[in-house]
Structure 1
Amino acid sequence: MNLEMQKFKADFFKALAHPLRIRILELLSEGDKNVNEIQTLVGSEGSAVSQQLTVLRTKNIVTGTKDGNRVIYSLRDPLIIELLQVAKQIFNNHLIDAITMLDKLSESESGDEVE
């Protein structure tokens, strides 16, 4: 893999590396929204949402289209939806592994007890 592709991937994942940006992408995966809709759904101030949307626009992850005095945001590439789903699956796999490990630890500790 060439260095340019690795740099693109690193920059791309840096752009995703914020919980509010992830939440915005999850909302946009359900359909296009304007800033006010996004603010209401995330329960955050306008400046915070606008800042995160700027990062996502700068990295070409979302697009904004003027509609009168509003800007409607949408995902630039629908594959983002799949990426978010894969990340959720990876998280669930880690969670299942952690639960399994805790169960085994709990079983071994209860087996060590003397009555």
Structure 2
Amino acid sequence: MGETGGHGRATQASTPLYQLKADFFKTLGHPLRIRVLELLSVREHAVAEVLAQVEVEAASLSQQLAVLRKANLVATRREGSNVYYSLTHPQIAELLRVARGILTGLLEGQAELLADLKAGRHG
């Protein structure tokens, strides 16, 4: 299980799980990709619907959708001239919910600390 087609990247089978996880989180590490995944967590969307929601240039959206497709996080289907996107795994929506919960807890903790600092109750 060596290298793949001259790209210098190890195959998935020989890549440690922590590296695969890091690559996965790198894929998630773009605000527009997160926004798209959040929209798709609710329901399938046509490209035009996503474009109206995210308020970016079509080329930029297309580029980010391609990254998500390549990572197998979204799937497409064509109906007439429309292309629809959906999540490949419902766990993606759950991951976004968990991240929101973690961030909410962190921000609440920071707000409490700030309130303590302003009240002179810290340090």
User: Would you say same fold, with TM above 0.5?
Assistant: yes
Cα distance per residue 1:20-75 (max 9 Å; x no partner) = 00000011111111111100011111111111100000000001112222221000
Matching residue of 1:108: 120
Listed as ranges, the matches of 1:9-28 within 5 Å are 9-28=21-40
- In structure 2, the gaps of 5 or more residues are 1-13
1:108 aligns to what SS in structure 2?
coil
Q: Does 1:45 align with 2:68?
A: no
Which range is displaced more, 100-109 or 11-20? 100-109
What is the aligned partner in structure 2 of residue 77 from structure 1? 89
For the residues of structure 2 that align with 1:7 and 1:66, how far apart are their CA atoms?
Answer: 33
By how many angstroms is 1:3 displaced? 5.2
Partner residue of 1:113? none
Superimposed CA distance per residue, residues 9-30 of structure 1 (whole angstroms, 9 cap, x where no aligned partner): 1111111000000000011111
Post-superposition, which runs of at least 4 consecutive aligned residues in structure 1 deviate over 3 A? none
Q: Does the CA-based 8 Å contact 1:35-1:46 persist in structure 2?
A: no
What TM-score, normalized by structure 1, do the two folds share? 0.88
Residue identity opposite 1:103 in structure 2: A
Structure 1 gap segments, 5+ residues each = 110-115
Instruction: Please report the RMSD computed on the Cα atoms of aligned residues, expressed in angstroms.
Output: 1.5
Higher helix fraction: Structure 1 or Structure 2?
A: 1
Choose which of 9, 29, 34 in structure 1 pairs with 2:46.
34
1:84 match: secondary structure: helix
Q: Percent identity?
A: 44
| Kept in 2: contact 1:29–1:75 (CA 8 A) | yes
TM-score (norm 2): 0.82
The partner residue of 1:5 within 11, 17, 40 is 17
User: What is the distance in 1 between the residues matched to 2:79 and 2:48?
Assistant: 13
Structure having the higher Rg: 1
d(CA) in 1 for partners of 2:16, 2:77: 29
